[in-house]
Amino acid sequence: MLRLNAKTIFRWSFSLLAMVLLAPPSVPAADIGNCLLCHKYPGLSRIDEDGRLRLLFINEATMNSSVHARVKCEDCHTDIKKIPHDPAKKVDCLTQCHIVEPTSEQKFSHKEVARFLSKSVHGLKDRDQKPKKHPEDLPSCKDCHDNPLYRPLSIFKQKVHPGISKAALGRCRVCHKKDEFIYRFYNHVTTRLHKIRSPKNIAEICARCHDDAQLAARHGLSTKAVYSYGETFHGKAALFLDERVPDCLDCHVNPGRSVHQMLSYKDSNAITNENNKGLICANMDCHPGASPKLAEYRVHPEFDLERNPYQFYAQVFFLGMTGSVLLPIMGLLFLDLLRRMFPNASLRRRK
């Protein structure tokens, strides 16, 4: 039911006005429910109860090139059944959609991901199947998969070229007759052969929780993991947008597993476990000749006197040394500069 109080009328008239003013040249709406009839207008927005601007505009081109291009609006927004519609409920990422997954021939959903997640270190139960304390700290789908991190599919890790390679397309055409088929499958497979996000982006997802010292303390984690990663060579290179360095997932996900199956380093099956972590560095793509000793390098060092005394004193020593070398040099340069600028200046009184 549409409640017609002053607020609603104001909102709708604002939206309608914005639609008229900002209307782009009309594009045929592809969706069955024709949601884009209204949602294609860039001006469709409102101020929500918390005073934040919410953009309700859906860019059709972006939508059509996203991973969800083939999912209909109402497959996710299942509560919207009539137009004009009531305020929409939150979308449940585990909803089944109309797409059929060919190997199981079942309607598709992300339930498997939820199962992986529940058995990972981010699941609600610990290894003894006891419920964890502070379940509200654990990440749900939308905590990690949010829009600000959306990247078009064409931005990839550098080793792989973005988008569709013309050369490879020519190869598919030798045997397959329909371009539509080739585009669909080529994209489908190649976009999943490598990670979509840069190491910096990945670290940003995790930082929300893992740089929260209080959250870490509540769960017995000893470090601010993203901060400490940032202190290493890997982290510094990631900050400068180097996409070849390992990010959190390259080390924390066991080979061949989904990123949703990360385990605690205390788990003997985890690749980060004391006994297995040598394998991480010696990965073919990283340091193929590395001996397991390389893994003794602390990836998450915090310069803390109690926990890492060696690193602490080493850092203090280097800070002191850098200071004691650079400061005198800078002092000399400064005096030299003064002399150049004021060649005749003197502190002594002229006679």
**Which residues ranging from 267 to 306 are in contact with ligand HEC (CB under 6 A)?**
272, 277, 280, 298-300
CA distance 139 to 100: 28
Selected range binding ligand HEC among 181-189, 314-322, 327-335, 336-344, rule: CB under 6 A: 181-189
Selected range binding ligand HEC among 20-28, 29-37, 326-334, 336-344, rule: CB under 6 A: 29-37
* Site membership for ligand HEC, residue 36 (CB under 6 A): yes
Of 143, 144, 137, 307, whose CA–CA distance to 215 is shortest? 137
Taking the complex as a whole, the smallest distance from the CB of residue 331 to ligand HEC amounts, in Å, to: 39
Q: Which of 25, 51, 87, 288 binds ligand HEC (CB under 6 A)?
A: 87
Residues numbered 127-166 forming contacts with ligand HEC, rule: CB under 6 A: 132, 137-145
> What is the token pair recorded at 323?
């200071």
Q: Which of 7, 52, 90, 293 binds ligand HEC (CB under 6 A)?
A: 90
* Site membership for ligand HEC, residue 35 (CB under 6 A): yes
CA distance 7 to 331: 66
Q: Which of 2, 61, 175, 341 binds ligand HEC (CB under 6 A)?
A: 175
- Are 230 and 244 within 8 A, CB to CB? no
Q: Which of 10, 24, 68, 316 binds ligand HEC (CB under 6 A)?
A: 68
Taking the complex as a whole, the smallest distance from the CB of residue 246 to ligand HEC amounts, in Å, to: 4
Q: Which is nearer to ligand HEC, 50 or 343 (CB)?
A: 50
- Match 């800078």 to its residue by tokens: 330
- Residue 235 neighbours by CB under 8 Å, 6+ apart: 203, 228, 229, 245
Taking the complex as a whole, the smallest distance from the CB of residue 291 to ligand HEC amounts, in Å, to: 16
Q: Residues binding ligand HEC: what is the number (CB under 6 A)? A: 97
> In Å, what is the CA distance from 128 to each residue of 191, 207, 222, 300, 344?
37, 27, 21, 27, 81
CA distance 44 to 57: 5
Q: Which is nearer to ligand HEC, 138 or 282 (CB)?
A: 138
* Site membership for ligand HEC, residue 77 (CB under 6 A): yes
- Residue 321 neighbours by CB under 8 Å, 6+ apart: none
Q: Which is nearer to ligand HEC, 88 or 327 (CB)?
A: 88
Q: Which of 25, 28, 51, 84 binds ligand HEC (CB under 6 A)?
A: 84
CA distance 260 to 119: 9
CA distance 79 to 75: 9
* Site membership for ligand HEC, residue 217 (CB under 6 A): no
